[in-house]
Amino acid sequence: MSIRLILICALLAGAANVRGANHEGGHADDRVHCSSDRPEVAIAACTHLIEDDRLDMFERATALKNRAFHFQEQGDLDRSIADYSAVLSRPEQRRVQAKTYLNRGLVYSRKGAATEALADFTQAASLDPKLDSAYINRASVLMRQGDTEGALADLGRAIQLDPQAVAVYLSRASVFAHNRDYARAIADYSKAIELDPRNPTTWRDRALAHRVMGNSEAAVADATEALRLDPNMGSAHLDLAIGLERAGRLAPALEEFNRAIQLSPADADAYQARGDAYVRRGDRSQAIADFTQAISFNPRLIAAYANRGAAHLAAADWDLAIADFTRALALDPGQYAASVNRGLAYTKKHDRERAAADFTRAIQLNPQAVEGYRDRAFVRAEAGDNAGAMADYNQALAIDPRDAEALRGRGFVHLQRREADAALSDLNAALALNPDDTPAQRFRASAHSLLSKQRR
């Protein structure tokens, strides 16, 4: 979910109604153009007013503010800042000065000068503590700097000042979602919906939050409402499709994926999500095609590489799988699943050294997951390292005593060490969990045979 922070520009004090001067000086048209004309015309008119020493200080200051705003519209940020700074060097009422600081802060923010923008927004809030847009815009800068707590505090203050401000609830919901605090995000989306129930984007965003929290029913309901309000919102079709898939309704989910892609044919996430649905349906070739298309639109989409690699792994295309997992890990070395799966592909190619290295990496990334220990144990057992294999199987079973594969593997190691009783104990436990495990059945038969020989 992208973060949507709303920047609010202060109204320029006196921009629409410039007070009449004591000396006309032929400026009747200039006053009109300075306030409301196209930027290039307005700037010239404002300059005439600013440079006329016969006009009083108030009128020339107002012309400076307006010219600053028109420079801002043109993208001439340095001149805009210079004009706002000139205004601030003159005495003004606190609330009027607060709006000038706010506007200069907006220009600094647009220029990427975060320190100066923060200082101006802070000064605006200090001069006028009820200026909610100062808090909103300061929150935007704080969010870009990674200070989510500060951003949330400012947005909370803005809501206190204006409890009916839909845009602020949406901004705060977006920050909560970024922090993975989806319960609070949903609360803010719900308040925004209460105030403005006809915004389809809000329904779509709440659907996403519900989906992340595992509430597929609520996610589907919200996405459906978003589409009732805007039937051509591709992202809402995508959210509905994912919600339907997670609810086990694969056929209607695929219809919604198709509609999402039809509306947004370059949406890499839609292709990747539809590929996941095809995997679930067992259609690996179509899934691989969708993952490939997703990568063509977004070559840095990690999930597309990782999931295409998994599809290649299931199809026994070891080299293609390894290539995809390697690319995923190059983009994000912290990918646990890609590490485990590449290790499995190397195992199938009998490259035990690389397989063991990947499983070790997986263990480092997630020491509480069974797969890394269990799969490294298998490689060690294949290499004849029964002690190392036993240590890994023991660790895997300490994490999950009901892992049937680890029980079967440890039983096999006991068998290799001619520990018939221990082998039978593990293999019986494995078959109790999975009675159709053919290798476990075969190992148990060998364990019974060994035990029979040992008792003679």
Euclidean distance between CA atoms 153 and 131, whole angstroms: 15
* pLDDT value for 374: 97
Residues 247-256 as b/e (b if ≥16 CB within 10 A, e otherwise) read: eebeeebbeb
Tell me the C-alpha to C-alpha distance, in Å, between residue 88 and each of 61, 71, 82, 93. 9, 17, 10, 11
Please give the average pLDDT of every successive group of 10 residues along the chain, which has 456 residues. 43 37 55 81 89 85 89 90 90 88 93 94 95 94 93 96 95 94 97 97 96 92 96 95 91 96 96 96 96 98 97 97 98 96 97 97 97 97 95 97 97 95 96 96 95 85
DSSP at 350: T
The Cα diameter of the chain in Å comes to 124
Strand, coil or helix: 401: coil
Residue holding tokens 């890990």? 329
Rounded to the nearest 5°, which phi and psi values hold at 396? Answer: -60, -45
Q: What length does the chain have?
A: 456
Closest CA to 284 of 251, 314, 257: 314
Instruction: Tell me how far apart the alpha carbons of residues 238 and 266 are, in angstroms, rounded to a whole number.
Output: 13
Phi, psi for 342 (deg, rounded to 5): -65, -35
Question: What is the structure's pLDDT at 16?
Answer: 36
Structure tokens at 109: 């923010």
Rounded CA-CA distance 247/159 in Å is 36
Q: Where are the domains of the chain?
A: 1-162, 163-265
Q: pLDDT at position 26, please?
A: 53
Task: Report residue 55: phi and psi, to 5°.
Answer: -80, 150
- CATH homologous superfamily, domain 1-162: Tetratricopeptide repeat domain (1.25.40.10)
Residues 65 and 100: beta-carbon distance below 8 Å: yes
Cα distance between residue 26 and residue 24, in whole Å: 5
Residues 6+ apart with CB under 8 A from 301: 268, 269, 272, 294, 295
Over its C-alpha atoms, the chain yields an Rg (Å, rounded) of 32
pLDDT at residue number 23: 41
Q: What is the pLDDT of residue 27?
A: 65
- Do domains 1-162 and 163-265 share one topology? The answer is yes
Rounded to whole angstroms, the Cα distance separating 417 from 193 reads: 66
Topology (CATH) of 163-265: 1.25.40
What gap in Å lies between CA 11 and CA 95, rounded to an integer? 12
At CA 336, angle to CA 331 and CA 337, rounded to 5? 95
pTM score of the predicted model? 0.76
